[in-house]
Structure 1
Amino acid sequence: MAQPVRQHHGPLSALSSVLNSDGKAHPVENSFVAATVVLGVVAFITAQFDSLHLVSSWTGLVGVLTGAWGQMISATTGERFLLIIGLGAAAVGFYLGMAHGGLFGSLLG
């Protein structure tokens, strides 16, 4: 007996079809994509303010690490594309955060 095809019509269905372009679900890989993009956006935005260098440097560092691991385990081109976008934003945030005071700048005095 044929199984009915489930069509999801929502804002995340297009993103899901891009990330899972091979027809299989990749929950771990997609979680790394989401974490990297969120950390990259936070690092990039907070890097624009000198006083938030602790936030931007730490979120940038964690974003670069999660993005690098996500690249190693990624399964589709869509995942790799979004990981590179998140990695770039996290790296810029990390480097600007380091330039504004670093990981421990205001804690050391």
Structure 2
Amino acid sequence: MPHVFRSTGGRPSRLRLNSDGRRHPVENVLSVVTLACGLIAFVSAFFPGAHAIGAWLGTVGFVGGFYSQYVSATTAERSLNIVGIVASFVGVAFGIYHGGFYP
């Protein structure tokens, strides 16, 4: 198995949302926005005073994530969508628990 230890000589790998070689600008933006909304909602779940932010961004991330999942074209986009949807759900659940949509 000497081929296992040899370097491939290629560029280092990095995260690519367009793994099929075609551009998907709308799908990429939707995936990143879903992830951002989910992460912000998830972080705000730890602060009871930020329940309105968590509830609203969680709802936007959850609904937008499902649409983004519907139109996604690559596996990398779908992976970001799932992480964003789950984080959004947790954020909206804790946001509602801590006080709901309005301050």
TM-score, length-scaled by structure 1: 0.80
Q: How does 1:19-98 map to 2 (within 5 A)?
A: 19-98=17-96
AA aligned opposite 2:32: A
AA aligned opposite 1:92: V
Q: How far apart are residue 90 of structure 1 and its match?
A: 0.6
Matched, 1:102 2:100: yes
State how far apart, in whole Å, the 2-side matches of 1:14 and 1:67 are.
23
Unaligned runs of 5+ in 2: 1-10
State how far apart, in whole Å, the 1-side matches of 2:75 and 2:40 are.
24
State how far apart, in whole Å, the 2-side matches of 1:59 and 1:72 are.
20
Q: How far apart are residue 14 of structure 1 and its match?
A: 2.0
State how far apart, in whole Å, the 2-side matches of 1:40 and 1:76 are.
20
Q: How far apart are residue 71 of structure 1 and its match?
A: 0.5
AA aligned opposite 2:74: T
AA aligned opposite 2:26: V
Equivalent pairs: percent with the same residue?
A: 45
Q: How far apart are residue 69 of structure 1 and its match?
A: 0.6
The CA RMSD measured in Å over matched residues stands at 1.3
Aligned length: 92
TM-score, length-scaled by structure 2: 0.85
